Amino acid sequence: MSLKDLLAEVDTFFENIIDEKQKIEVLNTFKKALHQHSPFSGEPVDCVLWIQSTALHPNDYNPNVMAPPEKKLLQRSLETDGYTQPVVVTACAKGYAIIDGFHRYSLGKSKPVLRKKLNGYLPVTLVTERNLKPADRIAATIRHNRARGKHHIAAMSAIVQDLYKLGWGDARISEELGMDADEVLRLKQISGLAELFQEKEYSEAWTVK
């Protein structure tokens, strides 16, 4: 069968699907099948799926803060230019946990114009189909945020504290989040949690008032 014949078969196949939800499910199945044969199968963006927004779940640790003017501009962009970037997710017990793109998700789910335009769906790309451990999800989100140069200092301090409690040491936090040792130390100082420094040796220059 030639490529032309195959495409004709695909056209006929989709023309016979009347239900929109079923058509989207079939499209996603096709995309996953093509992704398996792609020379870029190792890249998440190679396979963008359309998933119902109700299946996506925000995280509670994201330190990325968007100012109202920027959020308004993002909404304008989504309404005018469409979604040029998918929401980055990973599989979780409840569906999909958001790694990056919370504001794209929030606007797409809450704004009537976008909700109607997308019929309740959002474009997503999976970092991985397997469930990531909490610390790995946090690290993936921070990497996305820091790559754009945006993160909230107080929230980042809380993130470092959480990773420490999840068993990550300074070296791993530094490597996974793209920080130097001094930055990790400063964020630990901001948290004010004494147990973060239980293995540190202090010089006599350290004083407590």
Distance in angstroms (rounded) separating the CA atoms of residues 30 and 38: 12
Q: What is the pLDDT of residue 33?
A: 96
Lowest mean pLDDT among 45-49, 50-54, 188-192: 188-192
**pTM for this structure?**
0.70
The 3-class SS string of 126-146 reads ECCCCCCCHHHHHHHHHHHHH
Average pLDDT of the chain to the nearest whole number: 84
Q: What is the pLDDT of residues 102-119, one digit of tens each?
A: 999 999 999 999 999 999
Which whole-number Å values give the CA distances from 73 to 24, 68, 85, 86, 122, in the listed order? 29, 9, 15, 17, 19
Q: Tell me the helix, strand and coil percentages in the chain, rounded to 5.
A: 55, 10, 35
CB-based contact 95:127 (threshold 8 Å): no
The beta-strand segments (E) located in 108-186 are: 121-126
Q: Which residues contact 204 (CB under 8 A, 6 or more apart)?
A: none
Distance in angstroms (rounded) separating the CA atoms of residues 17 and 27: 11
